[in-house]
Amino acid sequence: MSAYAPGRPIALGDLAAKKAAGEPIVMVTAYDYPGAQVAEAADVDMVLVGDSAAMTVLGYDSTVPVTVDEMIMLTKAVRRGLTRPLLVADLPFGSYEASDADAIATAQRFVKETGCDLVKIERGGTSVDRARALVAAGIPVVGHVGLTPQTATSLGGYRAQGRTAEAALAVIDSALALQDAGCALLVVEAVPSEVTAALMPLLEIPVIGIGAGSATDGQVLVFHDLLGIYDGGAAKFVKRYAELRSAMIDGVAAYADEVRSGAYPAPEHGYAMPADEAARLRELLAGR
C-alpha cells in the first residue's frame, strides 16, 4: 500500500512517510503547462522547475544566465498544470547567495507569485546560512550538493564530484550542514554510489538522487533528457525513456510537406458558410 492516499495533494510529511516505508520518491523537472500536466498524469510525487530550463527550454549554454523573472514565468505555468505533486522551484544563480535578505526576498517572490511549495538552492558553504534563514522565514528548502551546475566552473566543469575520500567528505559535510540548517529535502547530483552509501545512514531527511546511484530515497531526471527532447549532450546518468525529438521533427516535417504539396488543409479542416449566406454575400459583392 502507498504511504499516502491517492488523489489528494502530496504534503511534505508524505515524503517522510515514503522514506520510512522504503517507497521510492519520484521527481521530474517540468518547465511549462503541458509538461506539468504530463508529470501529473504520470503520477510523479514531485515536480521541479529546475534552472536546467535555462538550457533545455531557453537555449542558454549553462544555467547561470537564467533570471528570476524567467524562472517565475516558467514556474507559474507549471503551477497551473499541477494539483497533486509537490512543486519545487530553483532559485537562479545570483538571486540568493549574497545575503540572507536577498535569499528571503527572492524566495518570497517565488512563493507568492508562483505558488511553489518549496525552493531549491545549490551548494553547502554560504548556502547553508541561506537555507537556515529561509527555513526561519517559513519557506521550505531543498538543498543540492555534489555537482552543483550553477557553480560548475569552480568545480572543474560538469563532472562527478566526491571522487576522492576528502572530496567525498566535503560533500557529506555539506549535506549534513544543510540537514542541520532545516532543509526538508536534499538533492544529491553526480557522486559515486560509495559516497551516497556512506551518506544515507547519516541523513534523516529524504534524499533525491540524480547520478548518485540507487541508494537514495528517490530519483529526479530532467524532463527533456528522459523524453529525448533536448538536443544537447546528456550526462552519463541520463536514461532515455522516449525519443520525442525525432517524433517531433517527423511531425513538423510532415506538416511542412503537406502545406507545400497542398494536401493540408483539406476541406474537413475548414469552416463552411450556410449556402444561403454564401449566396447573399455574392449578391452584396455584386451590388458594390
Least Å from the CB of residue 62 to ligand KIV: 11
Examine the residue annotation and report whether 243 is marked as an active-site residue of this protein. no
How far, CA to CA in Å, does 286 sit from each of 275, 278, 281, 282? Answer: 17, 12, 8, 6
Size of the site for ligand KIV (CB under 6 A): 11
Contacts of 253 (CB under 8 A, 6+ apart): none
Kindly state whether residue 222 participates in binding ligand KIV, applying the rule CB under 6 A: yes
Query: DSSP assignment of 31-47, as one string?
Result: -SHHHHHHHHHTT-SEE
Answer yes or no: is 52 a known binding residue. yes
Q: Which stretch binds ligand KIV (CB under 6 A): 47-55, 76-84, 167-175, 248-256?
A: 47-55
Decide: is 90 part of the binding site for ligand KIV (CB under 6 A).
yes
**Of 43-51, 165-173, 239-247, 267-275, which segment contacts ligand KIV by CB under 6 A?**
43-51
Q: Apex CA 52: angle with CA 156 and CA 231, to 5°?
A: 90
Binding status of residue 161 toward ligand KIV by CB under 6 A: no
What angle separates helix 165-180 from helix 126-136, to the nearest 10 degrees?
A: 20
Hey, is 210 helix, strand or coil? strand
Q: Whose CB is nearest to ligand KIV? A: 50
Residue from 77, 187, 188, 227 that binds ligand KIV (CB under 6 A)?
Answer: 187
What is the Cα–Cα distance from 32 to 51, expressed in whole angstroms? 13
Minimum Å gap between C-beta 187 and ligand KIV is 5
Task: Indicate whether 29 belongs to the interface with ligand KIV (CB under 6 A).
Answer: yes
Q: Is 51 annotated as a binding residue?
A: yes
Q: Does 71 help bind ligand KIV (rule: CB under 6 A)?
A: no
Was 102 annotated as part of a binding site? no
DSSP state, residue 95: S
174 is in an annotated binding site: no
Question: Does the annotation flag 122 for ligand binding?
Answer: yes
Tell me how far apart the alpha carbons of residues 68 and 263 are, in angstroms, rounded to a whole number.
45
For the chain, counts of helices (H) and of strands (E): 11, 8
Instruction: Name residues whose C-beta falls within 8 Å of residue 1's C-beta, 6 or more positions apart in sequence.
Output: none
Output the smallest distance, CB 40 to ligand KIV, in A.
Answer: 18
Comparing CA positions, the residue from 105, 122, 103, 107 lying closest to residue 51 is: 122
Q: Is 51 in the site for ligand KIV (CB under 6 A)?
A: yes
Does 25 contact ligand KIV by CB under 6 A? no
Q: Which three cell numbers stand for residue 120?
A: 531549491
Asked if residue 116 lies in contact with residue 158, where contact means CB atoms within 8 angstroms, the answer is: no
Q: Quote the least distance from Cβ 237 to ligand KIV, whole Å.
A: 10
23, 97, 189, 277: the catalytic one is 189
The three cell numbers of residue 126 are: 554560504
Smallest gap from Cβ 202 to ligand KIV, in A, equals 21
Q: Does 225 bind ligand KIV (CB under 6 A)?
A: no
Is 147 an interacting residue with respect to ligand KIV (CB under 6 A)? no
Residue list, annotated binding site: 51-52, 90, 120, 122
Instruction: Cite the active site residues.
Output: 189
- Applying CB under 6 A, the residues found at the interface with ligand KIV are 29, 48, 50-52, 90, 187, 189, 210, 220, 222
